[in-house]
Amino acid sequence: MRTGGGRLERPLAGRAETCCAAAACGASSTRSRKATCAANSSGKSSRIGSTTIRVDKFLTLSSTLSPDFLDPLERLRASISECALCPSLVRCRSRVVPGDGAAPAAVAFVGLAPGRFGGDRTGIPFTGLHRMIHRARLRRVFITNLVRCNPRDARGRNRDPSAEEIANCHAHLEAELELVRPRVVACLGRIAWRELAGRDAPFNPRRAQPQIVRGKRVFPMYHPAYVNRGAYPERTYARDFARLARLLQELS
């Protein structure tokens, strides 16, 4: 859905189950103006010239679009989708997974990397977070990661991105945050927190307090994987989300 001023507001709820048809996904063909596609057959479409735009599930842009048609966030996503800065990630990724969601955003969640069975398959970062987002009634949410390609070890399992890979992708993160200008950047996990708040800032999501660091209001939270493996109670995690929602209310 497009909102006033040409900004993009794509509802996360309807997209949680969306998956990208690998054969049709244009992540590698943005040079020819084929941006990422999705194959949710329940999406509504609009026709503009010879171009079909799927508006309610996953923005589909195909073939003849002028780059000027794309809003700034889609242009950024298209340019990130061509990135090949990390050779080892280029070899193992299925696709680049740029940040996604509302622009401007009230809150941007920053995780670690697309998962092998998550963003790397769907093209959408962190669909596992959507339930908590909706439970806390958060609006205007943007979701991204420190790196935009799925890192795997020699056996094909998820691994943490290296410091070099995080550094390579930092400019993409900065560009996304600059564009969506969130009031709060919620850092999911210690590594995202260290990257955005600095090594000296204590990581304490249980008593989370926002901090202003280099012009960003950062807020520490546990990574959902930590909750999924039972290391942190889901009920307490929901309370952390409620605390974030209150903070956003105070700031609005």
CB of 172 to ligand SF4, least distance (A): 6
Q: How far is the CB of 179 from ligand SF4 (least distance, A)?
A: 16
| Piece of 27-35, 142-150, 152-160, 217-225 that binds ligand SF4 (CB under 6 A) | 142-150
Which residues inside 161-200 make contact with ligand SF4, applying CB under 6 A?
A: 165, 168-169, 172
Residue 205 to residue 243: CA distance in whole angstroms:
10
Binding test (CB under 6 A) with ligand SF4, winner from 96, 107, 180, 196: 96
Position among 83, 175, 201, 238 found at the interface with ligand SF4 (CB under 6 A): 83
Q: What is the CA radius of gyration of the chain?
A: 18
Q: Which CB sits closer to ligand SF4, 97 or 186?
A: 97
Please identify which residue in 147, 179, 187, 218 interacts with ligand SF4, judged by CB under 6 A.
147
Question: Cα–Cα distance between 75 and 94 in angstroms, integer?
Answer: 20
Give least dist CB 113 to ligand SF4, A.
8
10 binds ligand SF4 (CB under 6 A): no
Nearer to ligand SF4, 112 or 132 (CB): 112
Among 13, 48, 84, 213, binds ligand SF4 (CB under 6 A): 84
Minimum Å gap between C-beta 134 and ligand SF4 is 28
Q: Is 1 in the site for ligand SF4 (CB under 6 A)?
A: no
- Contacting positions for ligand SF4 (CB under 6 A): 80, 83-86, 89-90, 96, 147-149, 165, 168-169, 172
